[in-house]
């Protein structure tokens, strides 16, 4: 059993309505560009993100099949849109609705780009439940959240 004594994992960062989170990657998903909003929301400096695989913000709650579908869609030359829960550097999280598509130069696919929008609260709850079910099926693992008093946590530390 994994006992996570960090409460940061429960802290959500709200994506602002009026700012776009933008990133680009090479054809292997390595970040080539991150705008300041992406850096701010994910808790990194832009230079910490550039050159890293985009999975740097992968949240453990995300099922594998979502990313398989994402990459299968991109490899067919199509665009993908979907809900993603991302991990911040401080282990908190944020939800986005991402639109990912190819960047073409002289008709040749050179990069991928992603533009994200904020997600309404009822959809976040629906997607969290949906992804929990998917993960349970895929990995036979589930997420248990236990709320306890601080003295129980102190005992765990002993």
Ligand X SMILES: Cc1cc2nc3c(=O)[nH]c(=O)nc-3n(C[C@H](O)[C@H](O)[C@H](O)COP(=O)(O)O)c2cc1C
The residues that touch ligand X, with contacts defined as CB under 6 A, are: 23, 25, 29, 54-55, 57-58, 62, 67, 70, 84, 86, 98, 100, 112-114
Q: Which is nearer to ligand X, 6 or 75 (CB)?
A: 75
Q: Which is nearer to ligand X, 20 or 153 (CB)?
A: 20
What's the closest the beta carbon of residue 142 comes to ligand X, in angstroms? 19
How many CA atoms are closer than 13 Å to the CA of 44, on its beta-carbon side? 22
| Structure token pair of residue 65 | 């099949």
Q: Which is nearer to ligand X, 71 or 156 (CB)?
A: 71
Handedness of CA 105, 107, 110, 111 (dihedral sign): positive
Q: Which is nearer to ligand X, 15 or 70 (CB)?
A: 70
What's the closest the beta carbon of residue 51 comes to ligand X, in angstroms? 14
Distance from C-alpha of 8 to C-alpha of 90, rounded to nearest angstrom: 7
What's the closest the beta carbon of residue 22 comes to ligand X, in angstroms? 10
- Tokens 């299968």, residue? 72
Residue 91 is given by DSSP the state: S
**Contacts for 154 with CB less than 8 Å, ≥ 6 apart:** none
What's the closest the beta carbon of residue 151 comes to ligand X, in angstroms? 36
């Amino acid at each position: 059993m994994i006992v996570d004594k960090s409460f940061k994992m429960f802290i959500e960062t709200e994506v602002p309505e009026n700012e776009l989170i933008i990133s680009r990657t090479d054809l292997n998903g390595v970040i080539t560009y991150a705008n300041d909003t992406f850096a701010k929301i994910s808790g990194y400096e832009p230079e910490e993100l550039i050159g890293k695989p985009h999975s740097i913000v992968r949240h453990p709650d995300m099922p594998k099949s979502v990313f398989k579908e994402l990459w299968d869609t991109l490899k067919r030359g199509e665009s993908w849109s979907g809900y993603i829960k991302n991990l911040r550097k401080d282990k908190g999280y944020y939800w986005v609705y991402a639109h990912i598509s190819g960047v073409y130069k002289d008709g040749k696919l050179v990069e991928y780009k992603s533009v994200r929008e904020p997600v309404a609260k009822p959809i976040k709850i629906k997607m969290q439940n949906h992804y929990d079910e998917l993960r349970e099926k895929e990995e036979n693992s589930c997420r248990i959240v236990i709320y306890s008093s601080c003295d129980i946590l102190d005992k765990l530390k002993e």
